[in-house]
Structure 1
Amino acid sequence: MEHGKQIKIPATYMRGGTSKGVFFNLVDLPMEAQQAGSERDRLLLRVVGSPDPYAKHTDGMGGATSSTSKVVIVSKSERADHDVDYLFGQVSIDSPFVDWSGNCGNLSAAVGPFAIHSGLVDKDKIPHNGIAEVRVWQANISKTIVIHVPVHEGEVQELGDFELDGVTFPAAEIRVDFEDPADGDGAMFPTGNITDVLEVPLLGELEVTLINAGIPTIFVDASAIGYLGTELQGDINRDEDALARFESIRAYGAVKMGLIDSIEQAASRQHTPKVAFVAPAKSYQASSGKSVDESEIDVLVRALSMGQLHHAMMGTAAVAIASAAAVPGTIVNRASGGGEREAVTFGHPSGTLKVGAKAQMCENSWKIEKAIMSRSARILMEGWVRVPKHATS
């Protein structure tokens, strides 16, 4: 019996924010995987180790969670005023598909360092000491992200004293600017309303804020669905009925947002939209055992990703939180205390995070010029990833 051979592909395993994934330079991929399509998806599924009915990713580079089953493809940009193009894939754990419908805000922070390490940024843009601005075209959502990468003696500075809840060790701070983070046509609120009513089976009528900033997100008041807003992963992820209810909210919200045409299509679009529930600030104990005092935060937010409560907060969802908090009358804004604001500190299962966004009314619709947050990133391993040759054809 002919078993074939493995091939090796240059790859870098990186942490970005509270996520990690496998990074590729586009030109290093096999020719058949350099274009979008089934060949690329089949290769990346095998790299990560999906689909895995055991949900462990033992035979791949994935970590069997929504935060660690990710791939990134970066290439030199031909667009004016951009250094690189960045494509993000959310790899399903137990199903054979890669979701390309949205961005990962956490891994966005790692794209700048990866681009510099890979020689994709012109050397004259990299200071000997200082901050390198890497302008990134986010190909999934057609948006510009500016990543401010610290440089020391001509090299990316990865280590530092910046602490990020949800990440064990400190590192160098990387500021990430999401320019005009709303939907491509400028519709931050796809229905035109800052709040809507969703009719969801078994839950009835739910008031929600549907927003497309950073990533399409459905916000609901925690008390309306029987929660406090202080829940941790175990409180939600061990409850199959609760997960089914959240998936129902997600599916009906996706239809309302115009992202899908029917409820049945939600199963093939797991990455977007996200569902998050919010509550006014109150003290709680984070998953690490750290105490978060009510005085430290403006609002509580818990969000689900790929059908599970996230251990911290997705970076793109943080952009959605900042954007919604900045608009008076949204569910997030009301839970945050109301009024106008340009920054919000929210409590999540791993701790706290501060994000900034300034909203303005333009031609009868709300617009966010830029959302800002700080993350960190670090190379964990670099070299080659090996996959069976048949995975590439």
Structure 2
Amino acid sequence: MPYRVPNAFLIALQRHPKPRPSEHPKMNTTHSPQIPLRAVFMRGGTSRALFFRAEDLPPAGPARDSMILSAMGSPDPNKRQLDGMGAGTSSTSKIAIIAKSNHEDADIDYTFGQVSVDAPVISYKGNCGNISSAVGPYAVEEGLVETSDDQATVRIHNTNTGKIIVARFALQNGLPKLDGDFALDGVAGTAAPIALSFLAPGGSSTGKTLPTGKAREVLETDGFGAIEVSLVDVSNPIACIHAQSLDLTGRESPAEITETPGLLDKIETIRIAAAVRMGICSLVEAQTTMRNLPQIAIVSAPTDQDSPATNIVLRMISTGQAHASSPITGGMCLAAIMKLPGSVAHELARANNDASQPLTIAHPSGTLALDADISGSTVDDFSVNAVTVFRTARRLMQGEVMVPRHRISDDAEG
């Protein structure tokens, strides 16, 4: 069956969902060397992703993954993804699969995939907070949700974690408003803000906010000895480490972290040990297919170099790469355990004079502010009710991504 692509922007503008066929008729035959696959390229926060409609893809499994890997240009041993839509970094090698939801508390089902740059692997374990911010605007532009004249509230069911995210943003002529004065560190210019509320995000991957029931513990690693960590799971699991434990100041740039001999190998060893300790996966899975979790949060105390509002300084490692800013999910974990006495983050964090003020995390590209609604102050009663963060998002491109037929399984065309 040939793939047909609607002009999604005009569909949203005109509310007339009539699909437009691929421009070249030969591309819609079973003999064409490539399959045109409807897709939208979105920026969400400080990340980018290819967005697909679930109806355009095969069911979950090897056939679907082979199409997505080819579309993104993975695996690429050169780590550049030049033959696809990825850009060789963890923050730009992501996909989202969207469908209308049958969940009673949601409008949209959203499945996130972290695509490995250099291996034929897509991890569906965990979520991406940045890409979550693009789901609401995408759903409105695709005509998947009903909206009022000037405001949208989209309830999103993240299938990876089973959690609900509520996105609220302004509309202009029925479409997501773009212009505004909200500045997002790591993204040039200003735009209209999107409020994202992650409801009851604790235990998204492991079933517990504190997977081991401890605020702090010593983790034994293979070849690098013992290291003190805090293990927490709020939307995504992280292992939080004092920068000094890695012989770092905590102010190194991503390039300096990458160029420090042996450092990323040591951090990867810690990640593997933490994945097993947290019950995320087996040792073999952590070494092969589960390469994105937990993220590693390297933290340090704020200094005079930081604004008075800064509570903690972060350098995040995600899928073996030093992050240029801060993943939202990593920030959510930090915002939570900064309020947990005994944790690594609580020990280093500067407390707010006004407890109602948001928590601010300094990262290489600026700062990230989050509102964390926390209950309890001990490991026995600690829980996260909700975390709210503001992002921006924009549709960058729409149309068809071309998937070479010889790279996908026969089942992908059924």
TM-score for both structures, normalised by structure 2: 0.87
CA deviation profile, 1:353-381 (whole Å, cap 9, x unmatched): 11121221299331110011110000111
CA–CA separation in structure 2 for the residues paired with 1:283 and 1:50: 43
Aligned counterpart in structure 1 of residue 199 of structure 2, from 152, 176, 179? 179
User: Can you give the 5+ residue segments of structure 2 that lack an aligned partner in the other structure?
Assistant: 1-29
Partner of 1:146: 166
- Work out whether 1:16 is the aligned partner of 2:44: yes
CA–CA separation in structure 2 for the residues paired with 1:186 and 1:259: 10
Partner of 2:373: 358
> 1:313: Cα distance to partner?
0.8
Instruction: Determine if contact 1:183/1:213 at 8 Å carries over to the other structure.
Output: yes
CA–CA separation in structure 2 for the residues paired with 1:142 and 1:221: 31
Partner of 1:367: 383
- Work out whether 1:239 is the aligned partner of 2:260: yes
CA–CA separation in structure 2 for the residues paired with 1:240 and 1:74: 41
- Work out whether 1:94 is the aligned partner of 2:105: no
Partner of 1:290: none
- Work out whether 1:349 is the aligned partner of 2:364: yes
Partner of 2:144: 120
CA–CA separation in structure 1 for the residues paired with 2:233 and 2:104: 25
Aligned pair in 2 of structure 1 residues 283, 231: CA closer, same or farther (>3 Å)? farther
> 1:200: Cα distance to partner?
2.1
Give the share of equivalent positions with the same residue, in percent.
37
> 1:282: Cα distance to partner?
2.2
Instruction: Determine if contact 1:252/1:263 at 8 Å carries over to the other structure.
Output: no
CA–CA separation in structure 2 for the residues paired with 1:363 and 1:332: 14
CA–CA separation in structure 2 for the residues paired with 1:145 and 1:106: 12
Instruction: Determine if contact 1:165/1:352 at 8 Å carries over to the other structure.
Output: yes
> 1:237: Cα distance to partner?
1.2
Aligned counterpart in structure 2 of residue 132 of structure 1, from 152, 174, 185? 152
CA deviation profile, 1:227-248 (whole Å, cap 9, x unmatched): 1111111111123500000001
SS of residue matched to 2:190: coil
> 1:332: Cα distance to partner?
1.1
TM-score for both structures, normalised by structure 1: 0.91
- Work out whether 1:75 is the aligned partner of 2:99: yes
> 1:13: Cα distance to partner?
0.3
Instruction: Determine if contact 1:359/1:367 at 8 Å carries over to the other structure.
Output: yes
Aligned pair in 2 of structure 1 residues 80, 3: CA closer, same or farther (>3 Å)? closer
- Work out whether 1:384 is the aligned partner of 2:384: no
> 1:341: Cα distance to partner?
5.0
Aligned counterpart in structure 2 of residue 215 of structure 1, from 236, 239, 256? 236
CA deviation profile, 1:139-182 (whole Å, cap 9, x unmatched): 00110000112112322112222111111122110010010111
> 1:4: Cα distance to partner?
4.7
CA deviation profile, 1:81-117 (whole Å, cap 9, x unmatched): 2100000111111111111111010000000000111
> 1:278: Cα distance to partner?
0.6
Which deviates the most, 262-271 or 169-178? 262-271
Give 1:154-233 correspondences, 5 Å limit.
154-184=174-204, 187-233=208-254
Partner of 1:322: 335
Larger radius of gyration: 2
CA deviation profile, 1:282-333 (whole Å, cap 9, x unmatched): 255xxxxxxxx34241110111011011000111111111111122221112
Instruction: Determine if contact 1:51/1:94 at 8 Å carries over to the other structure.
Output: yes
Which deviates the most, 325-334 or 302-311? 325-334
Partner of 1:288: none
Instruction: Determine if contact 1:276/1:301 at 8 Å carries over to the other structure.
Output: yes
Partner of 1:287: none
| Total equivalences in the alignment | 376
Q: Pairwise CA RMSD of aligned residues?
A: 2.0
Write the letter of the residue equivalent to 1:368.
V
Write the letter of the residue equivalent to 1:211.
V
Which deviates the most, 295-304 or 78-87? 295-304
Write the letter of the residue equivalent to 1:359.
I
CA–CA separation in structure 1 for the residues paired with 2:373 and 2:331: 14
Partner of 1:302: 315
SS of residue matched to 1:386: strand
- Work out whether 1:271 is the aligned partner of 2:281: no
> 1:384: Cα distance to partner?
1.2
CA–CA separation in structure 2 for the residues paired with 1:54 and 1:63: 11
Write the letter of the residue equivalent to 1:138.
N
Write the letter of the residue equivalent to 1:206.
I
Instruction: Determine if contact 1:14/1:22 at 8 Å carries over to the other structure.
Output: yes
Partner of 1:248: 269
Write the letter of the residue equivalent to 2:321.
Q
Partner of 1:337: 350
Instruction: Determine if contact 2:216/2:344 at 8 Å carries over to the other structure.
Output: yes
SS of residue matched to 1:243: helix
Write the letter of the residue equivalent to 1:382.
Q
Write the letter of the residue equivalent to 1:47.
A
